Chain A
Amino acid sequence: NAGVMQNPRHLVRRRGQEARLRCSPMKGHSHVYWYRQLPEEGLKFMVYLQKENIIDESGMPKERFSAEFPKEGPSILRIQQVVRGDSAAYFCASSPQAGTSGRESSYEQYFGPGTRLTVT
């Protein structure tokens, strides 16, 4: 069972360009979360999505940031007109549907390797 996949692993963008980060959840997981980790800081929640729905975007900056999780394909975190302050590690996590049997809890989230965004 492949883990959460993210690409690209490293992304360099000039100020003003767009950044697109992709996340494929673990097989059987339908909940996707995006977190950001600024240098020397803790992880901060950004957005929680299920297929075709944004459930909680309380951690998303009001401008330039958007996220989607289409019916087919990976979840995308899009940052328009990047600025130096957007440089960070962006992690995606996934969790199974509620009610999944076995040890795995619907609240246990499993993280991808992250995308390190550098804005020059």
Chain B
Amino acid sequence: RKEVEQDPGPFNVPEGATVAFNCTYSNSASQSFFWYRQDCRKEPKLLMSVYSSGNEDGRFTAQLNRASQYISLLIRDSKLSDSATYLCVVTHTGFQKLVFGTGTRLLVSP
């Protein structure tokens, strides 16, 4: 079983739609949580950190449920430019290496 699991998608949505991605992690010692986005053949870019209280950045909302070891990302009012692969990422206590999920691909169409 992979340490960080994501639905690979693709999620095909029209512009303006709301889409939600889910992620589960297996290591209860995981300490920090992030969403990154990766465009085709490009480097991952940090989208947002995920805090226990939940956090919002414009159209993006991230939630963390430590008890269920579950992380979510909600994108409202999808834009064409949101088309990318969204990577769920965790780190462990005492270590700084990032553990990546394989990503969920999003395709936003006109």
Contact A35 B98 (CB under 8 A): yes
Which residues from A are CB-within-8-Å of B102?
Answer: 41-42
Which residues from B are CB-within-8-Å of A55?
Answer: 96
Contact B98 A109 (CB under 8 A): yes
What does the 1/0 interface line of A100-117 toward B look like (CB < 8 Å)? 000001111111111010
Contact B46 A109 (CB under 8 A): yes
- By secondary structure, the A interface counts as strand
* Nearest CB of B to A56, in Å: 6
How far is B23's CA from A97's CA once the two chains are assembled, in angstroms? 29
Contact A56 B100 (CB under 8 A): no
* Nearest CB of A to B50, in Å: 11
Number of interface residues of A (CB under 8 A): 28
In the complex, residue of chain B having the shortest beta-carbon distance to the beta carbon of A59: B97
In the complex, residue of chain B having the shortest beta-carbon distance to the beta carbon of A31: B96
> B34 at interface (Cβ–Cβ under 8 A)?
yes
Most chain A beta carbons < 10 A, residue from B49, B91, B96: B96
> B45 at interface (Cβ–Cβ under 8 A)?
yes
| A41-B102, A42-B102, A42-B103 known; A108+B97 contact, CB < 8 A | no
Which residues from B are CB-within-8-Å of A69?
Answer: none
* Nearest CB of A to B96, in Å: 6
Contact A48 B100 (CB under 8 A): no
CB<8 Å pairs between A and B, sample of 10: A31-B96, A33-B96, A41-B102, A44-B100, A56-B96, A59-B97, A105-B49, A108-B34, A109-B46, A109-B98
